[in-house]
Amino acid sequence: MKYNRNILITGGAGFIGSHLVRLLVNKYPNYRMINMDVLTYAGNLANLKDVEEKENYEFVKCDICDFERVQKIFQDYQINSVIHLAAESHVDRSIRDPFSFAQTNVMGTLSLLQAAKHAWDGDFDNKLFYHVSTDEVYGSLGEDGFFVEATPYDPHSPYSASKASSDHFVRAFHDTYGLPTVISNCSNNYGSYQFPEKLIPLFINNICNNKPLPVYGKGENVRDWLYVDDHARAIDVIFHEGKLGNTYNIGGFNEWKNIDLIKVMIKTVDRLLGREEGSSEKLITYVTDRAGHDLRYAIDSTKLKEELGWEPSLQFEEGIEKTVKWYLENTEWLENITSGDYQDYYNEMYKAK
């Protein structure tokens, strides 16, 4: 079968990437999706079990920093679009090990940009390099206001500094070489298949297992939460209709103080497990604050709504209920991560073939 597009999706075995791959593989049988992922601790091919046999899906194990191999993959698969999600994504890890964030997020992005430039060689018809980024590049808000696309970059953590740098490289390739690029900056995502080091899956898991819930500082930091499938839908819309050289903010106008969100999770888990509602609040443990902890993120996604018609589809109450239920029903997925067994999946499924 001849495909209209050969799309290189990087980081497709991660949390957001797997939701995006699933959406695109099922929605566009005339596109071929090549998932390039090196399978770090955060990459889990079991996230994609339901699409791995689809004809228009291909997995390639490769480090985005390996420029020679990336170039070969562009040739072998005649890549004409890139949706780049591969990254080191956890702020706490970036505080402990900033080098790997600069390596993957900055050098890896540069390697992909350079490979696209070489492969497309000035012929940019029907080509696109889409970079998936974060609202954390804008820094931290006070009590009021929102991040808009024109908000100056002011990253604070090594993670956000590396993402900001990669955004700048993407813009530089657009402005210098005319590479057709687009960037989106999204707020915090939640949903199924998120690695249980991030707030929501970690706390759901701990509540279930009666483990302490480590709340950083006073729990007063604010995050703007978006259901992961709504993010994937936004990427789909921007991929098809976004204006080249533009940035789009993605968010759900859904701000929560950490401690309030934690209490919602506690109530939901308690109810679903038949415990007295709120009884797990005793697990809340205030711990030393994260260094450089940004106080508040809030995204204004008006541009995306007005120009491209995207809006979140799910109310938060519904999204968090679905998410908690998913983690309660998928204990095997969680156990495989906790035990490390998920890392054998690649060997079992792919190496043997």
Which CB, 233 or 280, lies closer to ligand NAD?
233
Which CB, 249 or 280, lies closer to ligand NAD?
249
Reported residue count of the chain is 353
Residue 52 catalytic? no
Residue 135 catalytic? yes
Amino acid at 214: P
186 binds ligand NAD (CB under 6 A): yes
Spot the catalytic one: 37, 63, 88, 136. 136
Residue 307 catalytic? no
Using CB under 6 A, which of the segments 68-76, 181-189, 240-248, 270-278 binds ligand NAD?
181-189
Q: Which residues, listed in sequence order, are joined to residue 8 by a DSSP beta bridge?
A: 34, 82
Which CB, 40 or 221, lies closer to ligand NAD?
40
Shortest distance in whole angstroms from residue 210 CB to ligand NAD = 26
Shortest distance in whole angstroms from residue 215 CB to ligand TYD = 5
162 binds, among ligand TYD, ligand NAD, none (CB under 5 to 8 A by kind): none
Shortest distance in whole angstroms from residue 125 CB to ligand NAD = 27
14 binds, among ligand TYD, ligand NAD, none (CB under 5 to 8 A by kind): ligand NAD
Binding to ligand NAD by CB under 6 A, coded x per residue (else -) over 21-60, reads: ----------------xxxx-xx-----------------
Binding to ligand NAD (CB under 6 A) within 264-303 occurs at: none
Using CB under 6 A, which of the segments 63-71, 137-145, 207-215, 335-343 binds ligand NAD?
63-71
SS3 letters across the chain? CCCCEEEEEECCCCHHHHHHHHHHHHHCCCEEEEEEECCCCCCCHHHHCCCCCCCCEEEEECCCCCHHHHHHHHHHCCCCEEEECCCCCCHHHHHHCHHHHHHHHHHHHHHHHHHHHHHHCCCCCCCEEEEEEEHHHHCCECCCCCECCCCCCCCCCHHHHHHHHHHHHHHHHHHHHCCCEEEEEECEEECCCCCCCCHHHHHHHHHHCCCCEEEECCCCCEEEEEEHHHHHHHHHHHHHHCCCCCEEEECCCCEEEHHHHHHHHHHHHHHHCCCCCCHHHHHEEEECCCCCCCCECCECCHHHHHHHCCCCCCCHHHHHHHHHHHHHHCHHHHHHHHHCHHHHHHHHHHHCC
15 binds ligand NAD (CB under 6 A): yes
Binding residues for ligand TYD, rule: CB under 6 A, are: 91, 188, 198-199, 202, 214-216, 221, 223, 258, 290
- Say which residues have a Cβ less than 8 Å from residue 49's Cβ, sequence separation at least 6: none
85 binds ligand NAD (CB under 6 A): yes
157 binds ligand NAD (CB under 6 A): no
* Orientation of helix 316-329 relative to helix 199-208, angle to 10°: 50
Shortest distance in whole angstroms from residue 167 CB to ligand NAD = 10
Which CB, 25 or 234, lies closer to ligand TYD?
234
137 binds ligand NAD (CB under 6 A): no
User: Catalytic amino acids?
Assistant: 135-136, 159
Footprint of ligand NAD on this chain (CB under 6 A)? 10-11, 13-17, 37-40, 42-43, 63-65, 85-89, 104, 108, 132, 134, 163, 186, 188-189, 195
